[in-house]
Structure 1
Amino acid sequence: MKEKLWTKNFISISVSNLFLFLSFYLLLTTLPIYALQDLHTKESSVGLIVSVFLFAAIIIRPIAGQQMERFGKRFLFLVSLSIFLVSSILYFLTDSLTSILLLRFFHGLGFGIATTAAGTIVAETLPDSRRGEGMGYFAMSMNLAMAFGPFLGLTALNEFGIHSVFMMAFCFSIISFIAGLLIHLPATKVIKSKEVKFNFKLNALIERSAVKVSLFAALFGIIYSSIISFVSVYAKSIGLTSVGSYFFIVYAIVLLISRPFTGKWFDLYGAKYIVYASIILFGAGMVLLSLSSSPVIFLISAAFIGVGYGTLFSSLQTIVIQDAPSEKRGLATATYFSIYDLGMSIGSFVVGIILSKVGFHALYGGSVFLIVLGIGIFYLITKQQGTNEVTEIKKIS
């Protein structure tokens, strides 16, 4: 008999995470436009709006992961959601780039703590035999937010102005906080110890077992940054402006359809086969994207990338959590997201430079070489650690 997956805690943390990321993506896509059009910010400075946010998240995650057992996962998660909620209100008061950057740093701290705590909480609410499946569904909340957040934000901005975006982000933050309140962890899993003190040594801020897989994820984060940052611009450049906004919608729909199968296969057959298959599908999607000349090919590439990259991201997160000692899952989650976000940040900058030199077709086509390199790297990781140590879960009877 299968262990129960859709518990109250799992549903609550997934809903909370969905609206947290909806708020994140709403602002990610609209604040640069607001800064340019309303605050008359220089284009060279707009990138700081994203960089400052991610920088704050990166520096706070290791600390949050380290202190998870001291203050309790649920408590830290609610604190982070409170920061998110307060930040959403303060956007109404921003009237300069400086005020936005200060707020983005504060907001990023909340985001860093929230993503670390959420990943740890969901890992502990899932039964071991269905962890791959459950983590896949949980990751889908981020994927759905990535698809619909920018669409809702840009639509609201164009139709009603920036204050409607701020109000929407505020409402989503409220829903996320309410869903977070519904989470109740068993007392045995919330350990508050005064003996756990702040330790700023590298070994205390980074879970070593998570580093290799996290660096591997960061490599693909660099590739993926070329999509999330420039695919709409690419669509416009090849005369597909009308379908450009549907790229992430198709991405999310296909991922939603495939998730019940890919998660179960992860639990049945282990990480190795799912990761390899995901990389191949992702690579096929990038090839199709580079060759796109019609709406059909463009949207088919979105489908391949959705299944490939979406499954890969959640699978690697599951590997990191499985490989870490139970008392260090929070730190492992923090390590994973911090290194991954670093890859995304570096990628957004580097990809922009490469794009100006080679163009879109060469950029997306050339990324396949990095994807092939990724297959070799993952092979070395599994060879060094052993497949069972990387994450080979018992087959479900």
Structure 2
Amino acid sequence: MYHIQHEIILRTQGDRMRDKENTKALWTRPFLFLIIVSLLTTMGFNMVYVMISNYAMAINGSLAIAGIIAGIFSISALLVRPLAGMSVDRFNKKHLCIIANILIGVAALGYALSDQIPMLFFFRVLHGVAFGLSSTTNIALVTEYIPKERMGEGIGYYGIGQVISQIIGPNLGVYIADSFGFQPMFLIITLLSFIAAVMLLFLPYSQERSNQNDKKIKITINSLIAKEVIVYSIIGGMFSFSNGIVSSFLILLGKERQIANVGLFFSVGAIVLFGMRIFIGRVIDKQGLTLVVNISLIITAVSMMMIGVAPVLSWLIIASVLKSMGQGSGQISLQTECIKRVDASRVGVATSTFYIGADIGQGLGPIIGGKITDCFNYMVMYFTCAALIIGAMIVFNLYQNKTKSKSVSVC
């Protein structure tokens, strides 16, 4: 009898230990599932964004109209972010992800059928809305499968699918469109989106209804914006601000300075970003937010100054490595902190608030950069960007010291 009881006790203790280990496991089947879904979703986005302007002009749109068609996507995604965040916190995240991927597939199919600008404009807006919902929901959903103490590491690994799509997607989109036409490219994107939606049907997920879900839905500032992470959203937006400037003006800078093969800047950057995603999460979880973000902002500012004075391609390649290191560590750490700063019922609105900063930064970068370049030159533009990043670092440290002082006084 004693041996039986002793064996039962040992088994119970073993089960508890295994349960404890499982709660800390990161590479679970649902987590891998969501990485693949993210890869499929962002692959379509990266295939489209390099070709949509060409397609608009191919169906008799002017250059100005093509620019509007390209830009309305980001505006649509930005406008839907607050509502997406609120919806994520109130409704079933898995169902929202499925709906978003279906809508992305419908938008891509609409691209293939569009033979007039108004029709293309409509489906471009739909794509922006669906992508805004998808990106917000995906992050909120994947955090439910990441142990809290490994959140930075988990979000870093989760972004691997997005980085792979950045490396492959643009070139794949150009190849398919040039070799087979625009319609086959759009149909492939439709297929990828529907595959992602079907995969999500098999994702094991059960959402406990919170008290908030049982209440009548009220739209308030707190339900749309996570005020406690606004500063982190602004700082994260500075990385996107630099992205917008580099993406819009680097090729033109290369032509002006007669630097060949400038496209290598983006290829090298994507590879470095991929490498950063693999290990930076562990660094974030161990070293903390303040140190990582400060180093990231300094490195990014240096990369902007290097681009501003770059006389040859090698300078741009070094700047690309530095920029990707800064962005890869800075944005992940800030996004992770946004999620940690709120309770589980507000992960959606925290995620959308962070992305709002990124959307605004990505949009303002080319506008402000273009104005500065018109008045001065590319060097002044990139040095101004570096100065703004240093300014953001000062704001970040003031905020960190303020919040630290508050926590100490409370204790």
Do the structures match in fold with TM over 0.5?
yes
Pair 1:227-2:246 in alignment: yes
Conserved? CA contact 2:94–2:205, under 8 Å: yes
Measured in 1, the distance between the counterparts of 2:362 and 2:181 equals: 29
Conserved? CA contact 1:72–1:191, under 8 Å: no
Structure 2 letter corresponding to 1:22: M
**In the TM superposition, what are the counterparts of 1:317-356 in structure 2 within 5 Å?**
317-356=335-374
Partner of 1:393: none
Measured in 2, the distance between the counterparts of 1:217 and 1:70 equals: 26
2:140 aligned to which of 87, 98, 120: 120
Structure 1 letter corresponding to 2:238: L
Pair 1:270-2:291 in alignment: no
Pair 1:237-2:253 in alignment: no
User: 1:97, CA displacement in angstroms?
Assistant: 1.8
Partner of 2:37: 16
User: 1:24, CA displacement in angstroms?
Assistant: 1.1
Q: Secondary structure of the equivalent of 1:67?
A: helix
Structure 2 letter corresponding to 1:221: S
**In the TM superposition, what are the counterparts of 1:20-59 in structure 2 within 5 Å?**
20-36=41-57, 38-59=58-79
With 249-258 and 73-82 compared, the bigger mean Cα shift is at: 249-258
Deviation per residue, 1:82-136 (Å, 9 max, x gap): 1011111111111122111111111111111111111101122111121111111
Conserved? CA contact 1:132–1:264, under 8 Å: yes
Pair 1:305-2:323 in alignment: yes
User: 1:317, CA displacement in angstroms?
Assistant: 0.8
Conserved? CA contact 2:44–2:189, under 8 Å: yes
Deviation per residue, 1:42-76 (Å, 9 max, x gap): 22232222332222222222222212243211111
Measured in 2, the distance between the counterparts of 1:265 and 1:335 equals: 24
Partner of 2:9: none
Deviation per residue, 1:203-237 (Å, 9 max, x gap): 32111112121122223322221112232333333
With 177-186 and 80-89 compared, the bigger mean Cα shift is at: 177-186
Pair 1:105-2:111 in alignment: no
Identity value in percent: 25
Structure 2 letter corresponding to 1:33: N
Aligned residues: 386
Partner of 1:199: 218
Partner of 1:394: none
Partner of 2:6: none
CA change 1:82–1:197 in 2 (3 A) is farther
CA change 1:158–1:206 in 2 (3 A) is same
Measured in 1, the distance between the counterparts of 2:198 and 2:310 equals: 43
Structure 2 letter corresponding to 1:67: S
Measured in 2, the distance between the counterparts of 1:381 and 1:312 equals: 16
The structure, 1 or 2, with the larger RCO (C-alpha pairs under 8 Å, 6+ apart) is 1
Q: Secondary structure of the equivalent of 1:240?
A: coil
Deviation per residue, 1:5-46 (Å, 9 max, x gap): 11111111122112211211221111112212x123222232
Give the superposed CA RMSD.
Answer: 2.3
Structure 1 letter corresponding to 2:403: Q
- Which sections of structure 2, spanning at least 5 residues, go unmatched? 1-20
Conserved? CA contact 1:69–1:192, under 8 Å: no
CA change 1:161–1:324 in 2 (3 A) is same
Measured in 2, the distance between the counterparts of 1:164 and 1:232 equals: 28
CA change 1:145–1:158 in 2 (3 A) is same
With 230-239 and 279-288 compared, the bigger mean Cα shift is at: 230-239
Q: Scaled by the length of structure 2, what TM-score is found?
A: 0.87
